[in-house]
Amino acid sequence: MIDSFTPKQVAVALQVSESSVKRWCDQGAIRTDRTLGGHRRIPLPFLMEFLEATNRRLVDPSAIGLDPTDLVFGHGSSMRQKQSLVTEEPAMLTQFEKALLAGDESTCRKIVSNWFAMHGGITSLADNLLSAAFKSIGDRWQCGTVEIYQERRGCEICCQLIHELRRLLPEPPGNAPLAMGGTASGDQYQLPNQLAEIVFRENGWRTISLGTNIPFASLLSAARKHMPKVFWLSVSHIENIEQFVVDYNHFAKNLPKGVMLVLGGQALNEQVRPSLSYSAHCDSMLQLANLARSARGSLQPKAGHI
C-alpha cells in the first residue's frame, strides 16, 4: 500500500479541486512533506489527521489505493466486470460479518480500510462495524449456528487490523495529555480495550494500554506511577459481581485526585452501575471520542500561541 499521495490524488479522493488541496497544504491544514524538487507529498497519517480535524470523508477511496472492488467475489479469475461496489452500510456490515466468520482476513481488511476511509475515523468503524458484527456473531453463537473458534478467529483478525490502523495514526506529540487503561481481573476481552485506546489516540492523546486481565492493585499502581489525565476501564465480563464492586470501588477511591475515571463495556448493566463511582460512563465509542475531545480541551490550559 502506498504511503503518501500527491495533491491531485487527494483532490480526487476528496472530490475537491487540486488548488484547494494545495492551498490547504500551504496553510498548514494538511501537514505536507516535500520532494527534493518541491513537489508536495501527503502521507496517509497526515491525511487521516486532516480528515478527522475537519470532519471530512473520502468520497472516492479508490483514488488513493483503498480499493473497494470485488469485495463480493473473492480472488476470482479474470473477472472483467467490476461488480458495483457495495457501499451501503448494511450491505458492508453483512459482508464483513460473513468474511469474519469465514476467516477471510484480506476481505475484512478491505472492508475495514474502506469504512475507515469513507467515514474518516475509527469511532464509526468501532461502533457501527466492529461492535455490530460481533454483537450479531454473539447472537448466532447462542443459537448454535456459529462455532467458538469462528468467533475467536474473528477476534484475532480484528486485533491484527486494529493494530494496523493504530500504526497509521500519527505519533502523538510528547506534550499531549495521557490516557491509560485496561481491563480488570477476569476480563479477557481485548477488542474493546484496543478500540478505546485508538479512539484516544485518534483524538490526539498519548496512550498507555495496560492490557487485559490485570488486578485492580496493579492498575492502581500504574495510574499512580504515570498520573494519566484519564483512566479508562473496559468491562466486558465480570466473574464475581460482589467482588468486582468491592475491588473496583477501592480502586476508584484510591485513584489520585485529578485522574478522571471513565467506564465502558457491555458488562456494566443497570444492576452493576449504580454500585460504582466513576467520573463518566460511555455506551459507545462515539461517546468516548466526544469525551476525549472535550477533556483534552478543557484540561489543557496551555493555549497554543498560533
Binding site for its own copies (CB under 8 A): 2-4, 15-16, 20, 24, 27, 29, 31, 33, 35-36, 43, 45-46, 54-56, 59, 74-77, 103, 106, 147-150, 152-153, 155-156, 159-160, 163-164, 166-167, 170-171, 173-174, 182, 188, 208-215, 218-219, 221-222
Q: What are phi and psi of 263, to 5 degrees?
A: -110, 155
- Shortest distance, position 22 Cβ to DNA, whole Å: 5
Query: Which of DNA, its own copies, none does 155 bind, CB closer than 5 to 8 A by kind?
Result: its own copies
Nearer to its own copies, 29 or 260 (CB): 29
Rounded Cα–Cα distance for residues 131 and 245 (Å): 26
- Shortest distance, position 285 Cβ to its own copies, whole Å: 19
Please, which of residues 1-60 interact with DNA by CB under 7 A? 6-9, 16-20, 22-24, 26, 35-40
Nearer to DNA, 23 or 135 (CB): 23
- Shortest distance, position 290 Cβ to its own copies, whole Å: 25
Nearer to DNA, 6 or 249 (CB): 6
How many helices (H) and strands (E) the chain has is answered by 12, 8
- Give the CA count within 13 Å in the CB-facing half-sphere of 93: 17
Query: Which of DNA, its own copies, none does 40 bind, CB closer than 5 to 8 A by kind?
Result: DNA
Nearer to DNA, 22 or 31 (CB): 22
Nearer to DNA, 15 or 218 (CB): 15
Rounded Cα–Cα distance for residues 219 and 208 (Å): 12
Rounded Cα–Cα distance for residues 46 and 285 (Å): 22
- Shortest distance, position 260 Cβ to its own copies, whole Å: 19
Instruction: Please write down the HEC assignment for all residues of 150-180.
Output: HHHHHHHHHHHHHHHHHHHCCCCCCCCCEEE
The residues, any chain, with a CB within 8 Å of residue 105's CB and separated by 6 or more, are 157, 160
Instruction: Tell which phi-psi region holds residue 55, choosing left (phi > 0), alpha (psi between -120 and 50) or beta.
Output: left
- Shortest distance, position 269 Cβ to its own copies, whole Å: 24
- Here the cell at position 102 is 469465514
Nearer to its own copies, 141 or 290 (CB): 141
Query: Which of its own copies, DNA, none does 39 bind, CB closer than 5 to 8 A by kind?
Result: DNA
Per the document, the length of the chain is 306
Rounded Cα–Cα distance for residues 165 and 302 (Å): 30
Binding site for DNA (CB under 7 A): 6-9, 16-20, 22-24, 26, 35-40
